[in-house]
Amino acid sequence: MAFYNSFKSDLALLTQENFSDAALALFQYQAQNNIIYKKIPAPLGL
């Protein structure tokens, strides 16, 4: 959670200049955590 908490709190300080570095760091975090896909049952009739 260390990365998560610091990333979230630092978002307000982000600029377009350090956007790419932040995006790549977040990608590594999300890729390592594996985005979870849980199937959502569709409502009846759909």
Partner 1 sequence: MGCEPNKVQSLEQIPFLPIEFFKGQEVVSRAFTPQAIFKSSGTTQQNRSRHFVADVSFYKQHAQLLFEDAYGPLAGCVVLALLPSYLEQGDSSLVMMIDHFIKATGQTEEGFYLHNHNDLREALKSAKAAGKKVYLFGVTYALLDLAEEISPEEGEGIVLFETGGMKGRRREMIREELHAILSKAFGVAAIHSEYGMTELLSQAYSQGFGIFQPSRTLRILIRDVNDPLAVSAVSSSGGINVIDLANIDSCAFIETKDLGKLYSDGSFEVLGRFDNSDVRGCNLMVG
Q: Give the contacts of 26 (CB within 8 A, at least 6 positions apart).
A: 7
Nearest approach, Cβ of 20 to partner 1 (angstroms)?
6
**In the complex, minimum distance from the CB of residue 7 to partner 1, in angstroms, rounded to a whole number:** 6
Interface residues toward partner 1, by CB under 8 A: 4, 7-8, 11-12, 14-16, 19-20, 22-24, 26-33, 35-40, 42, 45-46
The answer to whether 7 and 33 have CB atoms below 8 angstroms apart is: no
Minimum distance of partner 1 from residue 15's CB (angstroms): 6
